[in-house]
Chains A and B, each alone.
Chain A
């Protein structure tokens, strides 16, 4: 098809090779028919790319057939015009075509992620979809690769039932939070990622390199990964070469990002009006800047801090091979300039995967190499639990508009606040600070598969991941007022190296005895991860131009860490099916971990699953149902995601916690303190999750409609959590031990519809919806409860976790409107400092005073259900897709609003212009009162909002150029597309974005002001040469 003229020689050679191939390797027979017809043609995928090695057989006798050559061409002799030819290729929908009068039949096969003959990745191998009895979701990779993003996890959002992907922050390069089937534990909830058979870090993988993704959701699927599988497993394989001439693909896009800023802060005039009202309302003399402020600036801090960003991504792939050697090479570049000043992220990826076939194809050796470099210029954000740090966004929102941002006469161009306006210039500090991460990630994999005898394969797999990080933080001198001053240039630099390797040895035996199909896997595995880091700082560099520690002349410090963990495992699995009707799978894994003490090193996990392919029964007759397959599974899984050596009695040393100065003078020596400040947990052992899964796979109308439903109950025991212990113990960090039990229930449903693929207009729809609910059934030593979700340092907790309820429920006062009269306040009787215009809080306990007993539970940040809806259509050369995604029933505590409704800080929300006054009694906003005597900002339902949303995550329109055009340009396929991401969101949430704030287990839904998600418009091109 392409470059035909110049390739004739090669083509002859390849044909000869192919013939050899066909006759020797695949055992199809060709047969001369007396009145035979020769049919020729080309087999391609839906994008027109030739499919080498696709099979063409006679429907009447499937032992007669041929395969397409390197360029997708085939030729077959058929007995007569009524012959039906069957075209099939792994991973594509099989097609049947009656010959009639045609002698040339060009066939385009549709890729299918969910077809019955689809191959599904499972632990240490693959299975056909029809054999699967566990809860496994194969992600439609073609679909997710349509979403222009640098992060695989981001593109998984809304694509698979039970896979919850949400953002902690919208910062470029930040990693989304992935939860499979909700929260399975109070401890670490991160799933295990297995990349080409080796556990690794998904965030470094270029989405364009991915060939397949499977999500193992239940115990039966995941037990084979026993130890780290309790939060689910995401298995990924990267693209490998297919036999054929070098095929070049180029994918590029450019996009612009913008932030829809819906948090409105006061300008100078509004600020003065609100603040003066607030002072007057409590009879306090206003601060001088409010009354003598004509000379001050009127700055738009938010506008200067956030702008539009530019993003681009370019990927090139070259793949091909001979029948003995295949290769796939790819390289990619991604760059996002960041919507916030001095932020950005870029990444370079390259990957080479090769496959060699030796010993008459009985030995296959597959090396893979990849290298990723990421540069991140980020900001610090308070993601996670515990004491809240202050978000840079809150800092920006609350800047006084009176302060000038820029000052051309200053050395660095930024203004020092005028007298009386306090201190700080966060835009100045953010701009001149040099905060950079540079991380390298390398993967070296090799696997060798040897067919020992027919059906018996041995596989050796070794993978090494090396992660090298470098962080540098440089602060030049500046003076933006008190506590915002840096007298001397400061440099802090650190490097770390993580060396991980995994060695797997597996034996696999598959044999069919009549109707009995048996597949046995046995294996051993070892993993080791070593982390070492070193860092240093110097608080006085000789000048702002020097950025080397050795140029430091001030106080210096050095630090470093060194830890290792290992895992040793034995595992086995048996799959059995009887005449494609009854399926049984059982697996077992025994893991030993260095993280546990001598008596508790090993944990054993097992599972059993059953499936019944009802539609394959002889008695089954249905025009409607083409597939009915109920499934059941039960199994146990482990979790060991904890730190090292917790079972030892550790002594803490150094740092501001334990150090103390002695001696004479104001800068006396600081001595290092050391003492036990944690507790040993010598009996710490594996966390275990037992999961029961009941599911059914349905196919309707010849599988044009498919549905999968799963219901699960999981019980996690001996959760590895930091057990809250009384402070009276003298211990300042909660000991991490097996301190709780949790139950989790939920369901997931996915539906797909594919229209008939023969027409000009084709479309498919897929939808998924899932739900999970957790309940803590035991916590700590004595069922202690604890609070989190702090909005300010150690203060304003908003969530509470206790036995009998969900993890991290909102626990708040109930705001019940605004007092209109003193009589109402007197009648209420529990708020002595209130005056008309203040919030009324319910005395829930009815004890005549307002205290902590009057808080109540008000839902959590975890949705009741979440969903995704994908619609794809194709008309001739045009294609379109729309992807909606949403959550329902999750709550968000609007910490940003809480901050900006305070008149005692710096700037505030412009909403307060409409605050309650005796003239404006209809307002829902409490009166402006400096010092907030009624404590209107206490954590209450007033700031709790419904976080449900429906978002048009992605909409795309593409056009594929017709062959008449592309052939002239010597390209085989060309497509251009335009896309919009996050085009609109329907939500009642009044904060920045309902899709954020999902960082911490106990602080889920607590919006402390995060880097906003962006709306983006993308123009892209896909080319194949």
Chain B
């Protein structure tokens, strides 16, 4: 029996000795970065800022989500673009038959708020960081404010009635905001941009090109004033930009071929890169989307017939079609050429016409400057030509029409178009709305639809969007109702946040 006792003691010893301490179930985290270890160094702050920029390429960072969801949502309702109906991306937005569950607007919503959330984290954390100098903090805070303003600009012009979130909260209960008045959102954008403008540098060293500059803040603020028809402040702000050393590129096409990225005409661009090291995927895919099937492209969308017809009236002094038109579209014209992904060189329209699936194509961004398969050409958000045209608009509305014509002519002449002669205020307004901006800025990211949107809502409106669309033979324009002026508040979001109201009519 004595032996048995020992056995029992041993058993209990083995069995229970191991199993009584909670240390065993406190497992050290070896895998993920946490709040405690982050927000310590300047490198951390820069990483956070990088992430805040990253949301411009969609909330998930998927470049497909950017080009096929965000871009198409913003572009397809406008009169300069006709979508290829074989593709479903944005198809029902383009035919004004979308439901509130349409994924494109939801992607715009998600990306904007992802960016705002990241900017808000920077605005909360960076001022508390001990390792940073006061100057560094000021610059980072200014950039975060610029980004927050830009994302709210997407939201307020896309959806109008959106929640105004200016702090980052981890408490689940605080994550169900109601919508703010659009005026409050506009006010926040103006405040953020004004504060950012004061603290942003005018330029960055070469390795940091692409970050928001003072010029970008001023130009965006000028645009924000235009959207609110604040003609005076708009003129002032945009005039300031003209004094900052920006210049139009001598060659119009260099804006879209990657040869002058972040160059003299660039005010703000979304950066893309062909760098594939370490699994990176920051590519730009416009080159596939605008190119014909025959060139190895996907032809997601085309220039509208109205745009092509309008462009054909953009003439040089000799009465020929201007250079900027030839650099913008590929169309049935003896002088029209386009870069082919397949052959790696320019092809004339006549030589490939028989293989083309469609009579007309955009050629902006079609060139792939990268040798490898990922194209890294940046896309423009605001370029100096846009600034000049916006400045011209503000001048014209402030009854400075001749000065406004001068600005328009700077843009026209660079593009190879003959200078405009004298015009009345109303004539110039129409010229800018239905020729200068759509011809110069055709298909560029976030431009045409939002121009139509602002022009038809203000005191200077001459016609409704529906009328414009019908006059310009937009397919399915007959389906257009007032509710289509804004995106629906995404059903996906309303399902989750019952504090949100649908947009009127949706």
Contacts and interface: CB of A to CB of B under 8 A. Distances in A.
A287 B293 CA distance: 10
Nearest to A286: B357
A650 interface: yes
Contact of A666 (B163, B168, B208, B274): B274
A644 B54 contact: no
A673 B54 contact: yes
A723 B69 CA distance: 25
B255 interface: no
Interface string B278-300: 11111000001000011011100
B453 interface: no
B229 to A, nearest CB: 28
A533 to B, nearest CB: 11
Interface string A665-687: 11111111111110110000000
Contact of B376 (A482, A661, A674, A679): A661
Given A557-B279, A651-B38, A730 B373 contact: no
Given A656-B63, A727-B109, A931-B85, A651 B341 contact: no
Contacts of A528: 24
A672 B43 CA distance: 10
B310 to A, nearest CB: 23
B207 interface: yes
Given A675-B121, A852-B100, A930 B27 contact: no
Nearest to B35: A649
A675 B169 CA distance: 14
A663 B341 CA distance: 26
A732 interface: yes
- Interface range on chain A (Cβ under 8 Å from partner): 35 or more
Contacts of B7: 450, 452, 458
Interface stretch (B9-17, B381-389, B391-399, B461-469): B9-17
Contacts of B280: 555, 656, 659, 670
Contact of A539 (B47, B54, B276): B276
Given A563-B31, A660-B57, A663-B207, A786 B86 contact: no
B351 interface: no
A648 interface: yes
B47 A668 contact: no
A662 interface: yes
A782 B498 contact: yes
Interface stretch (A1-9, A377-385, A745-753, A791-799): A791-799
B51 A666 contact: no
B271 A661 contact: yes
Contacts of B341: 482
B113 A729 contact: yes
B155 to A, nearest CB: 9
B97 interface: yes
A739 B51 CA distance: 28
Interface string A526-549: 101000000001010000000000
A562 B32 CA distance: 9
Contacts of A664: 206-207, 209, 261-262
B495 A785 contact: yes
A558 B278 CA distance: 7
A241 interface: no
A653 B278 CA distance: 13
A601 B24 CA distance: 11
Interface in A624-658: 644-645, 648-653, 655-658
Contact of A420 (B26, B32, B293): B293
A756 interface: no
Contact of A568 (B19, B33, B297, B298): B19
A663 B209 contact: yes
Given A662-B207, A723-B172, A728 B497 contact: yes
B273 A670 contact: yes
B86 A657 contact: no
B321 interface: no
A559 B279 CA distance: 10
Contacts of A671: 46-47, 50
Nearest to A363: B7
A506 to B, nearest CB: 8
A601 B44 CA distance: 32
Contact of B170 (A592, A679, A932): A679
B261 A666 contact: yes
A833 interface: yes
Interface stretch (B88-96, B188-196, B312-320, B422-430): B88-96
Contact of B99 (A564, A677, A726, A851): A851
Nearest to B491: A852
Given A649-B170, A664-B209, A727 B51 contact: no
Q: Ordered nearest first, which 7 A-B pairs have the shortest CB separation?
A: A730-B117, A931-B85, A673-B51, A482-B296, A657-B61, A505-B15, A661-B273
16 contacts: A420-B357, A458-B15, A482-B342, A524-B18, A555-B278, A563-B31, A566-B27, A651-B34, A655-B61, A656-B61, A674-B47, A674-B50, A727-B493, A728-B493, A737-B172, A793-B68
